[in-house]
Structure 1
Amino acid sequence: MGRWQKLQTNPTVICDTGHNVAGIRYIVQQLTAAMQNGTGKLHIVFGMVNDKDIHSVLHLLPKEAIYYFTRASVKRALPEKELMELATEVGLHGSSYPTVVEAVKDAQTKSLPEDFIFVGGSSFIVADLLTNRDALNFH
């Protein structure tokens, strides 16, 4: 669970617990491959904890995606507004949300069936997502 786990189709929703430079680099390769054949947009629900190499990770993320910056429900979580500010500095654009559920719901609302939603950046983000599967209609 939590490793390139598919939760929904139309739009596709995938989560992954990759949370460091090596993990995010691999996830970006997978996202690039997944998006090559599609015509939809990439939506990324993203949060990190405050003791990771945030700047290096943000530089790896695709600039063309629509971002939903959020925070996990743990004390180590980087505040979503701070994450959004750091991301904006490297050319990533989106909005911030106080919970993973709110971020994912907004991504679902703004996505078309051909779009792709990725949720990750931290094991804790994925844990919040999977804990709230029913509230998000992922069965």
Structure 2
Amino acid sequence: MTRLLRSALLAGAVAAACACSAPGSAGGSDTPDPRSTRTTAPTSGSAPVQQLALRPDLDAAYAVTWPWRLVGDATLEFRGPAGPAACTAARVTLDEGSSQVTVRLEIGGIPGAGECAAIAEASRVEVPLSDPLGNRAVRVRP
């Protein structure tokens, strides 16, 4: 088994464990919007959070459903575990409608990156929207 595949499997296992313990919906009321998958992204901790690049060409990509938060008016930030940023990147499929934004986030290896440490690091991915989110619901699909 290659190191990249082991790294991807490890990061996937950690992501699954994090998803099971992730907090529920975030927002201003106790009643979550049933149309939204909004959750609270981690905002504290001692480990630095690495930024993953957005790329269309990934090796061994797998879908993740990381927690997200709105950063500014038109950027969604997703946070979760992934391999080192020198070897790992993200790919986003985005469908923006008038009432909903659907996001598919995939994590995978950077082609030609070579050998990488099989570790999971706290990571973030910024997803720019074409228009401010406003009152649109966000749906994260696997």
Give yes or no for TM over 0.5. Answer: no
> What TM-score does the superposition give when structure 1 sets the normalisation length?
0.28
Task: Answer with 1 or 2: which has the greater Rg.
Answer: 2
Which structure has the highest strand share of the two? Answer: 2
Q: TM-score normalised to the size of structure 2?
A: 0.28
